[in-house]
Amino acid sequence: MTAEPTTGRTADPEGPPGSGLDPETRERLLDATGRLVRQIGIAKTSMADVARAAGVARGTLYRYFESRESLFNAVRRRITDQFFADVAAAMDAKNSLSDQLGAFCELQIAAIHPASEIADNLDAMIHQMSAPGGHALRRTARFLQPYVEAARARGEVRGDIDMVDASEWLARILLSFTIFQVSVSYEAGDPASASSFVQRYAIRGLGAG
């Protein structure tokens, strides 16, 4: 039996509105950008390279993305949306908040350590670019809040816990793994080791047993 909740909150609520342009062309441009980043790296990937790889004119590319920055922001947003969708699926298969947070951490470590077996270089680049900052904190806290609420209903956390505060607390803990990528207590590049570390300590401050 899986734990509450199965969520539909994985898309970025702070993402841009639809542009009215052809979505298939937009996806082809993002796919081409991803391939190039994997092949030659983000620093060497130019707008001309992307247009050529996608088989479109540079003018077409600029109709969809006005700058290289906006293009890479869109790639980052798409990969991060997929990351949260994957995390939601993993967390929804767990029966306790502690296990759910461990699942989040395991996928996060896999994404930011390219040497990890299930890591992807583009995923690592995107998460290293986007993890620090207010947007990542807000999004992660918002994503976690229904899980904290469900844990309170199951009696895993105290009934007087403020859900917004608790969700931000947990988000800060999880995001710290993207900033401090070394450890004296667990194997920093090992997703399972980091997951176990989170499961042991993350929710103690919320009064869970």
Q: Residue 46's domain spans which residues? A: 23-66
Phi, psi of 168, deg, nearest 5: -65, -40
Residue 176 tokens, joined: 């710290």
Do 169 and 126 belong together in one domain?
A: yes
17 or 180, which is more confident? 180
Is 209 inside any structural domain?
no
Do 46 and 83 belong together in one domain?
A: no
Cβ-contact 112, 178 below 8 angstroms:
yes
Cβ-contact 124, 113 below 8 angstroms:
yes
CATH number at residue 31: 1.10.10.60
Do 139 and 91 belong together in one domain?
A: yes
Q: Does the pLDDT at position 40 exceed 60?
A: yes
207 vs 37: CA distance, rounded Å: 44
130 vs 6: CA distance, rounded Å: 25
pLDDT for 133: 62
HSE-CB for 157 with a 13 A CA cutoff? 25
If pLDDT is split at 50, 70 and 90, which confidence band does 135 have?
Answer: confident
Do 52 and 115 belong together in one domain?
A: no
Cβ-contact 192, 198 below 8 angstroms:
no
Do 116 and 31 belong together in one domain?
A: no
Packing angle between helix 23-40 and helix 121-130, nearest 10 degrees? Answer: 100
Three-class DSSP labels, 126-152:
HHHHHCCCHHHHHHHHHHHHHHHHHHH
82 vs 86: CA distance, rounded Å: 6
- Burial environment of residue 23 by CB neighbours within 10 A (0 to 12, 13 to 18, 19 or more): exposed
Is 16 inside any structural domain?
no
186 or 62, which is more confident? 62
Q: With pLDDT > 90 as the criterion, what percentage of the chain qualifies? A: 46
The total of structural domains in the chain comes to 2
Q: Does the pLDDT at position 7 exceed 80?
A: no
In this predicted structure, which of 7-21, 91-105, 169-183 has the lowest mean pLDDT?
7-21
Q: Read off the pLDDT of residues 74-88 as tens digits, 9 standing for 90 and up.
A: 988 888 888 899 999
Is 95 inside any structural domain?
yes
Do 178 and 123 belong together in one domain?
A: yes
Mean pLDDT, all residues of the chain: 82
Cβ-contact 86, 107 below 8 angstroms:
yes
pTM for this predicted structure: 0.75
46 or 6, which is more confident? 46
In this predicted structure, which of 100-109, 127-136, 156-165 has the lowest mean pLDDT?
127-136
52 or 205, which is more confident? 52
